[in-house]
Structure 1
Amino acid sequence: METSVVVRGSPSTLARMEQPKGVDWTVIILTCQYKDSVHVFQRELEVRQKWEQIPPGTLLLAVEDPETRVGSGGATLNALLVAAEHLSARAGFTVVTSDVLHSARILILHMGRDFPFDDCGRAFTCLPVEKPQAPVEAVVCNLDCLLDIMSHRLGPGSPPGVWVCSTDMLLSVPPNPGISWDNFRGARVIALPGSTAYARNHGVYLTDSQGFVLDIYYQGTEAEIQRCARPDGRVPLVSGVTFFSVETAEHLLATHVSPPLDACTYMGLDSGARPVQLSLFFDILLCMARNVNRENFLVGQPPEMGQGDSDVAGYLQAARAELWRELRDQPLTMAYVPDGSYSYMTSSASEFLCSLTFPGAPRARVVHSQVEELQLLGAGSSVVSCLLEGPVQLGAGSVLQHCHLQGPVHIGPGCLVSGLDTAQCEALRGLELHDLVLQGHHVQLHGAPGRVFTLVGCLDSWERQGTGTYLNMSWSEFFQKTGVRALGPQDLLWMLHPQEDGGKALRAWRACWRLSWEQLQPCLDRAATLASRRDLFFRQALRKVRHVLEARQDLSLRPLIRAAVREGCPGPLLATLDHVAAGAGDPGVAARALACVADVLGCMAEGQGGLRSGPAANPGWMRPFSYLECGDLAGGVHALAQERDKWLSRPALLVRAARHYEGAGQILIRQAVLSARQFVSTEPAEQPAPGQWVVAECPARVDFSGGWSDTPPLAYELGGAVLGLAVRVDGRRPIGARARRIPEPELWLAVGPRQDKMALKIVCWSLDDLQDYCQPHAPGALLKATFICAGIVHVGSKLSLREQLLHAFGGGFELHTWSELPHGSGLGTSSILAGAALAALQRAAGRVVGTEALIHAVLHLEQVLTTGGGWQDQVGGLMPGIKVGRSRAQLPLKVEVEEITVPEGFVQKLSDHLLLVYTGKTRLARNLLQDVLRSWYARVPAVVQNAHSLVQHTEECAKAFRQGSLPLLGQCLTSYWEQKKLMAPGCEPLAVRRMMDVLAPHVHGQSLAGAGGGGFLYLLTKEPRQKEALEAVLAKTEGLGNYSVHLVEVDTQGLSLQLLGGETST
């Protein structure tokens, strides 16, 4: 799994697989310059904790630097003090004690200085990357990438201590950087490779052969840089990442009470100490470097110190002397990551653009954005968190961020445009920007909120004497064009009024209130900026929701749902889902939208309130359900939303509401599946005499590949393909039904073993006795539904049951079903039983149903019964031999069956090598089914990919049958079982896993039948006729429970119907 950021235009891949467990941070601190930004960045840390980027128990602290220019070293010391103080208080101490550091894992992230291209600094600069496997959908900032690198790449394996990481660079680190922490002590710096040319403007480490740091050079000479070069010619760059062991961190913390270092902390400043500026690398770390002597160290001047700071040199010498005393004996080592990369985020617009674009890429990178006319985006450009309506043209190599634009707008090549909305589009009409940076800023001016817009050239150099440029032209040319004479290089910012027409624009611009960049920074409203970005993100997200659902895309909306709920704004999302569901012309789209509503409600419950699976028949929801049953989709969705509003107050109600939304989705699935009725037809036949039994007998079925793909809605949204075998168990066809006419105008039902003595017997005298036909657990429900689906009884008729039966048939019917298989066997019993019952009953009524029509009739029956379910069971048990059933990704739902031709003698060979083992565990298919449908509607990526694999695997399995290869079929079975486990986690009980492990050496392959979870295990043995041998193997294994081994053979007959003589009625 790779998570990296974009560096120098290289595309990056993020988190394709599940994240390994990261560092369980004790404290994460984010340091920032401005006091009024602390609460803003504190919230950003807390949001990331909600997003599961940060462990739930981590203490989060946004800490203001004591002074705006204390340097990276001063900010580190102050942050360490604040962390120790909070941990000391949490541990019950009344004073700061370094003991609390001994088991702590602390991460300090420095915001650093202002950044001209993002008002919230380099840490919150958004990058054109996505994390498709992240639990919560969000724009990815540099901070997020660095958190991931520290938590999952550099941090794991390190001992307790303090990590310090700058946020002013773009890093890429491989998943396993190969850092050894054996016998580590002291401090360690992380170095990444760079060219000698790049190193001329950056810091590099000089080390010895054992990795000890000898010196640190900043903007070193050619000779110094070459001295640091590795064998491949690259040099170890200062990356901004450092680790302090607990011992070293304690030594550093001890300096906070020693003048003048106390002035680096808020405690010292609160005590009146004079501020001091310290560099983390060239003050704190440099004193540990082996080649540095005390005299040179004390008089040196760190790069962070400006030219005007020479008057504090003496003050700094005293601070350095104290650092030398505390830290000199601590070893400093370097960990070099040769496969990583580092890029400092400079103030150069062209360099910044380069890091966000993709030179040579054939198309634009569009991230968390909705773009109506994608073809207008130039190659290699990037669009992040934008909403682009109409013709918005973006030139090659340009970047759009946080913009809501309505075309026509033309942004040429080489531009960075950020923070604009529709109000500014009019001002851009008819213009084509080239190589410009145009930004909208949220500000507070004299306490009032406002917007400010800045425009600079990507190639500008404002302060260069003589050759300085602005808007990519020389100052003299700029003055000539604008008529401005006294404009200084800092006064380049004006209020933009887009309603001004072009003729007045220049005069308006000249009259505008101007601020310098320096004056602007304290006025920036970072809370408003981040709130505006969040608002735009969710606006485009709602468009995405509509598009994904209406275009039937296989994209998961769950991360977006979590984002909306955790940000406290599920209302607009629910409204959007209602709108899509109500207006959908396709029941599949509407059902998925309702399933998404259920996911929103479940997410709002935050894991409380009970299990998602459960009953969905509360009287309050019956009115909306009735609208849906009648086909009034818009009315049903509206009524559902009205009822939903009553169920939002607490988790238990939210979960129950979610169940009812899933129930509403089931109604739409039923309506879609009922389209299969058009493929059900009967032919008239001679009616058997009253009392004459029609007996239907069927084999069971074993699924060899593709199961779950036949389950609605997958069967008609993805398209299904299942390879199944009709099988006899211990030489018998275990499933059957018999029906006959009786003179009494009644329905006599019997459910149970083939011999009537133990059967459950039910007599229906009236239509009221049939009303529970749609309650699967009601006695005789399947048999009652059979009479309704066969058209023998109409429950909505004004005629009584007696009148209907006498009028159409001159009497009633007796129907008896049986199965010799245990409940929950996984061999397709209930669906095959429904087929047998329908076939026998129709024949008793004087009609003949073809097998393919019967397959669709069972689909209809199971929807009427409300059990749902797919078509593979009836295909497997009603059709003979080895076959593949298929359904296309369309409605009406139609199943087509292909018989698989195998080599001569292979059917017998297969029967000799097949065995069934009853595991003694009853499976709970209903809950498994609900979980799978929930995952499918959510388009969980792993489930979608696995569903496609199931269909493809079926065709491969068919080839193995045609070849007659048992080893290949064994591989198919093994793969199939893995696919089933991916589809329905929890379908492999521990006792079954133990049984499969014991049997593994003796089989080519094995799988639980059907959905799994229990029932029958079927085996393809390496040797023929292995029943007794495997019984002996299992007998030696403890803890397997009440299992049994059964012979199995391929049935080449399928459903059989037979007319027998009359018998005494039950």
Structure 2
Amino acid sequence: MSYQTLFLQQSYRDCTKQYEEILHNPNLPLWDYVVLTASNEAQAQAYRAQISYRLKHQMLPEKTHYAVLPDPDGKRVGSGGATLNVLRYIREHAAGKQSLAAVPHDAVQGDGAAESRQFVSAQPGEAACHAFDGKRILVIHSGGDSKRVPQYSACGKLFSPVPRILPNGRRSTLFDEFMIAMCGVAARMNAGMLVCSGDVLLLFNPLQIDFYGKGAAALSIKEPAEIGKNHGVYRRDREGNVGGFLHKKTVEQLHEMGAVDEHGHVDIDTGAVMMSVDLLNSLYSLIDTEEKFAACVNEQARLSFYADFLYPLASDSTLEQYYQETPEGEFTLELRACREKIWAALHPYQMKLIRMSPAAFIHFGTTRELLHLMTEGMEQFTHLGWQARINTNSQEKSYGAGNSYISLRADVGAGSYIEDSYLHHGTVVGERCVISGVTLDGQSVPADTVLHGLKLQDGRFVVRMYGVCDNPKEAALFGKEIGEPLWTAAVYPIRNTIQEAVSATLRAYEDGFPTLEDGISLKDSFNQADVTAILPWQDKLEDKVKIESLLEAIDKKDNLHEAVKVFNGEINARVIRQLCGLAEKLDEQELFEFSRKIRIYYALSCLTKQDKYLDLCLDTIRNAILVGAVAGLSYDPTAKMEQEEVVVRLPVRVNWGGGWSDTPPYCMEHGGTVLNAAVKLDGQNPVEAVVKKIPGNQIVLASADSGAEQAFSEISQLQDSSNPYDPFALHKAALIACGIIPYREQISVEEVTKNLGSGLYLSTQVIHIPRGSGLGTSSILAGACVKAIYRMLGKELSQEELYNRVLCMEQIMSTGGGWQDQVGGLAPGIKMVTSDAAIVQEIGCSPCSISTETLQELNERFCLIYSGQRRLARNLLRDIVSRYVSGNPDTVEVLYEIQRIAVLMRFELEKGNVDGFAQLLNQHWELSRRLDGGCTNTCIDMIFSSVEDLIDGKMICGAGGGGFLQVILKKGVTVEQVQKRLREVFQDSGVEVWRCSLVG
């Protein structure tokens, strides 16, 4: 990259940064007025809508006064006449006069019409006399009809897209670039007016501009004479002022006239001119009465800002030559009379030549130039952050696209440019085409074609079609001569919908574009365009593209916190409705749709900052599991109590590898892999469930842990099992899951007990284990209840059915969680528990083949340490699940890695390598800390640190953050040594070793 390019790149970035600062700090120097000129009221209406839109979205400085001035009475008065009209507007505004030309800051995007705005002036006469004093005024002449790029006629070339994303995430336009590029100029002048041409983008550094004197200053850039021959060139006099204007001279002529410097460069006219307050007052003196205004601002004179206002300011200019300068319109008596007055008013002033270098300009000229710029020419401007693909779902590099949705099954030819369009599958676009503002649904567009859609004021649509190289000023269309200039040829059919208009125009193309009685021309369609429809259509497409980009990221399970940045922190009600509507239609029992649904809700929670969408995400997960879990659930009226009493006691479990991979939705989308073991404490199975017959027609539930007991005679009370603070929630869920009572249907408790043959008593307890132990007691207790109830009913139950009943219980209770806990306590020994990716999890349990010697070594070296504290895991589950659903890369990586470690753990144990197993346990501990920093704390870290020299491996039990810890002792170290060390450090605080044994 050259030094010149680096300079422009940094200047561009500096201007963008400065503009952002101005938006948030109104005390910085800025423009007092920004005035756009338009060719007619319809175009002005479109411009006002664009400015209102930007004010609404905080894209423009609020303290600036914005106005759009069409040529008076719809007459083409020239750029000079338009400038005089601006001066009159500012003068009248200073006098407190109301005007429809102003763009109110409280305007709401709608039909684009500006509302009147009240202006108050305490002394209107005095204010008007000093209207320009201390004011910084930016005028952008943008009143052309864009004949050479007709697709921008309606919206105005000034609001044509620029292929870069603004800091607020929106696509830029030439107007936005003007505001950014020129924001620094306001601080480089005391007061006055900067006049620019609306079809040229200047790239420069405002620090090279200084204008504090009288008269005018022309902004020029340095370019080689070979380029200058195609443009206007300034010739500098000895005082550094503009001596003369040279229009499209040959390189030889430029040399002869002294316009070429020693480097072979010339000073190119950028169309940007600064004028002092004195000069503005002199100009205003030409129109300070209605009669004077009418004489200067009319179609007959059609004054040119550049030919009529600037020429008299050149030091070498003469009145005789001035009369001969090529006018914007025709040579007329009215023009000559105006020039005489203008000469007298302006010739006394000088025009300083400000040379900006390095600098550049980009001219948005013809359709062909536009196509080149947006495709193969894009490489010249990538240093400015310009991109060939802006706000589009397409990543195809062979063509350019902006604010367009392009189906992956659409075929777009190389070198084409698609903007503000929707291309459905089956659409074929030839090479080097420009497609703008249309919906294509399977049609074919020939190569080198422009296809542009417009909505008309009567609600109907027209699609204009012409060749990329066609000149609308000429009488030719696709190389075929026609009877009049293409600009005025009524060859385009009008239809009720954009789709019908596309088809009709393509048929007209096939028929050779005959003139149609009810057809419309480029010119008339521009004049009759519904300009208020342009922004809503662009917004709708922008929403569509962003939604599709989000869905693509969702389907790829990308990081959603990055994916939602496409909305740049803003989301409108329409997008929310569309995403919610899409999510509601998705079938959560189909894995792909389930995955998409939960992530749509999660994305909405990120975008709206509303917890209700995260709740919908988690509810969807729960409901998907619940539907599968209760699919075979039914009340069994034939069930009978076969025994007087059944007692089931189960061990607890310790988790070694893969914990969290069993948690929905991860296991549903990837399957899970867990290595765990069943453990007795002090030689006992501490998890107990008791079912027994009782006389009468009641169901009695008891929790020995809490000392709670309650008799139930209402079925509705028993069916309410989702309250996490209900001491009998687990008992109730067990009755439902085992078919003792119905899930939802109403039936009396008396009838239930009558069918059972007696009343029922269900009691549970976890013997001597504190709550929040991390040993899986809640799920194992659920398993004990299911086993006890089925044994009481005399029913056989496979291990898989048992696991599913417990999983069903947990979903009925709304506790969430995975499946490893219940399997850990229900299946004996050390085992690998796995599942495949599926909504309905089928759990496989494979016992590890561990030798007697290895099991004995494990029992000698493995012990549990109680941390003296407990942790509640409900919010943790929500957090981990949320981070997984969001596609957090670290979370996804850890969930994969812990499963790999689980498999390696099994390998080491089956090989008899307890030391290798201990090292893997340490690795898992580090991964657990990455997954959840809350799994440890100062107390846990201190416990591990205090016995570091006595252990080879360490790990938490369950979610950690409290409860039990597990360690592998070094060979030769005894449990008593560990207990002694803990007592020395923690004394009687409750931190102690618990004796345990692995269940074979």
TM-score higher than 0.5 here? yes
Check conservation: 1:202, 1:219, Cα contact below 8 A. yes
Letter in 2 for 1:413: A
RMSD (Å) for aligned C-alpha atoms: 7.7
What's the CA shift for 1:315? 6.8
How far apart are the structure 2 equivalents of 1:1006 and 1:768? 47
Residue 887 of structure 2 aligns to a residue whose secondary structure is helix
Counterpart in 1 of 2:531? 526
What's the CA shift for 1:785? 0.7
How far apart are the structure 2 equivalents of 1:792 and 1:1018? 38
Classify 1:123/1:850 alpha carbon distance in 2 versus 1 (closer, same or farther; 3 Å). Answer: farther
Classify 1:761/1:373 alpha carbon distance in 2 versus 1 (closer, same or farther; 3 Å). Answer: closer
Classify 1:715/1:126 alpha carbon distance in 2 versus 1 (closer, same or farther; 3 Å). Answer: farther
Classify 1:1031/1:559 alpha carbon distance in 2 versus 1 (closer, same or farther; 3 Å). Answer: farther
Q: 2:432 aligns with which of 384, 397, 407?
A: 397
How far apart are the structure 2 equivalents of 1:767 and 1:905? 48
Check conservation: 1:396, 1:413, Cα contact below 8 A. yes
Q: 1:925 aligns with which of 872, 875, 888?
A: 875
Check conservation: 2:188, 2:209, Cα contact below 8 A. no
Residue 63 of structure 1 aligns to a residue whose secondary structure is strand
1:236-260: CA deviations, max 9, x gaps?
Answer: 9999999xxxxxxxx9785686322
Letter in 1 for 2:649: V
Letter in 2 for 1:416: V
Counterpart in 2 of 1:815? 763
Counterpart in 1 of 2:370? 352
Q: 2:468 aligns with which of 458, 476, 479?
A: 458
Classify 1:400/1:946 alpha carbon distance in 2 versus 1 (closer, same or farther; 3 Å). Answer: farther
Counterpart in 1 of 2:385? none
Counterpart in 2 of 1:509? 515
Letter in 2 for 1:865: M
Check conservation: 2:37, 2:69, Cα contact below 8 A. yes
- 2:258 is aligned with 1:258: no
How far apart are the structure 2 equivalents of 1:158 and 1:1044? 73
Letter in 2 for 1:759: G
Counterpart in 2 of 1:694? 648
1:633-653: CA deviations, max 9, x gaps?
Answer: xxxxxxxxxxxxxxxxxxxxx
Larger Rg, first or second structure (1 or 2): 2
Q: 2:687 aligns with which of 724, 730, 736?
A: 736
Spell out the pairing of 1:866-877 with structure 2 (5 A cutoff): 866-871=814-819, 874=822
How far apart are the structure 1 equivalents of 2:245 and 2:921? 64
Moved more, 34-43 or 923-932: 923-932
Residue 711 of structure 1 aligns to a residue whose secondary structure is coil
Classify 1:520/1:972 alpha carbon distance in 2 versus 1 (closer, same or farther; 3 Å). Answer: same
1:276-303: CA deviations, max 9, x gaps?
Answer: 86679x989xx9xxxxxx94799999x9
How far apart are the structure 1 equivalents of 2:537 and 2:527? 19
How far apart are the structure 2 equivalents of 1:189 and 1:878? 88
1:878-909: CA deviations, max 9, x gaps?
Answer: 67899876544433333446789999999989
1:667-724: CA deviations, max 9, x gaps?
Answer: 742444427979xxxxx9xx998566432231465887756x8324x543x3354667
Residue 779 of structure 1 aligns to a residue whose secondary structure is coil
Residue 773 of structure 1 aligns to a residue whose secondary structure is coil
Residue 720 of structure 2 aligns to a residue whose secondary structure is helix
Check conservation: 1:825, 1:923, Cα contact below 8 A. no
How far apart are the structure 2 equivalents of 1:335 and 1:721? 64
Residue 750 of structure 1 aligns to a residue whose secondary structure is strand
Counterpart in 1 of 2:734? 786
Spell out the pairing of 1:849-928 with structure 2 (5 A cutoff): 853-871=801-819, 874=822, 887-896=835-844, 925=875, 928=878
How far apart are the structure 2 equivalents of 1:189 and 1:727? 87
Residue 260 of structure 1 aligns to a residue whose secondary structure is helix
Check conservation: 1:260, 1:319, Cα contact below 8 A. yes
1:770-807: CA deviations, max 9, x gaps?
Answer: 13224433331122112322344446789865675676
Check conservation: 2:279, 2:349, Cα contact below 8 A. no
Residue 24 of structure 2 aligns to a residue whose secondary structure is coil
Residue 651 of structure 2 aligns to a residue whose secondary structure is strand
Letter in 2 for 1:787: L
Spell out the pairing of 1:75-474 with structure 2 (5 A cutoff): 113-115=144-146, 116-118=150-152, 119-125=154-160, 140=171, 142=173, 146=177, 168=199, 254=277, 258-260=281-283, 295=315, 343-347=362-366, 349-357=367-375, 374=409, 376-388=411-423, 391-407=426-442, 409-419=443-453, 441-443=454-456, 454-461=464-471, 470-473=476-479
How far apart are the structure 1 equivalents of 2:615 and 2:757? 41
Counterpart in 1 of 2:7? none
Classify 1:875/1:144 alpha carbon distance in 2 versus 1 (closer, same or farther; 3 Å). Answer: farther
How far apart are the structure 2 equivalents of 1:30 and 1:40? 14
Counterpart in 1 of 2:24? 24
Counterpart in 2 of 1:751? 703
- 2:730 is aligned with 1:777: no
- 2:15 is aligned with 1:63: no
How far apart are the structure 2 equivalents of 1:905 and 1:238? 90
Classify 1:389/1:928 alpha carbon distance in 2 versus 1 (closer, same or farther; 3 Å). Answer: closer
How far apart are the structure 2 equivalents of 1:154 and 1:660? 48
- The sequence identity of aligned pairs, in percent, is 17
1:982-1024: CA deviations, max 9, x gaps?
Answer: xxxxx89xxx999999999999999999889x76799999999
Counterpart in 1 of 2:663? 710
Which runs of 5 or more residues in structure 1 are unaligned?
A: 1-18, 208-212, 243-250, 288-293, 420-440, 614-657, 679-683, 937-941, 982-986, 1036-1042, 1057-1066
- 2:708 is aligned with 1:760: yes
Letter in 1 for 2:703: V
What's the CA shift for 1:861? 1.0
How far apart are the structure 2 equivalents of 1:159 and 1:819? 85
Letter in 1 for 2:449: C
How far apart are the structure 1 equivalents of 2:151 and 2:841? 55
Letter in 1 for 2:470: D
Check conservation: 1:358, 1:397, Cα contact below 8 A. no
Residue 151 of structure 2 aligns to a residue whose secondary structure is coil
Letter in 1 for 2:648: V
Classify 1:855/1:380 alpha carbon distance in 2 versus 1 (closer, same or farther; 3 Å). Answer: farther
What's the CA shift for 1:858? 2.8
1:398-453: CA deviations, max 9, x gaps?
Answer: 2323223344x33122222121xxxxxxxxxxxxxxxxxxxxx4455xxx666555
TM (normalized to structure 2)?
Answer: 0.61
1:910-958: CA deviations, max 9, x gaps?
Answer: 999999978888665289469939x95xxxxx53766754544445655
How far apart are the structure 1 equivalents of 2:839 and 2:867? 38
Check conservation: 1:262, 1:268, Cα contact below 8 A. no
Classify 1:369/1:1009 alpha carbon distance in 2 versus 1 (closer, same or farther; 3 Å). Answer: farther
Letter in 1 for 2:882: V
Letter in 1 for 2:760: G
How far apart are the structure 1 equivalents of 2:993 and 2:276? 75
Letter in 2 for 1:711: P
Classify 1:167/1:567 alpha carbon distance in 2 versus 1 (closer, same or farther; 3 Å). Answer: farther
Residue 735 of structure 2 aligns to a residue whose secondary structure is helix
Letter in 1 for 2:434: V
Letter in 2 for 1:470: A
Check conservation: 1:24, 1:55, Cα contact below 8 A. no
Which runs of 5 or more residues in structure 2 are unaligned?
A: 1-18, 97-103, 106-116, 237-241, 378-387, 389-395, 495-500, 634-638, 909-915
Letter in 1 for 2:429: L
Check conservation: 1:263, 1:274, Cα contact below 8 A. no
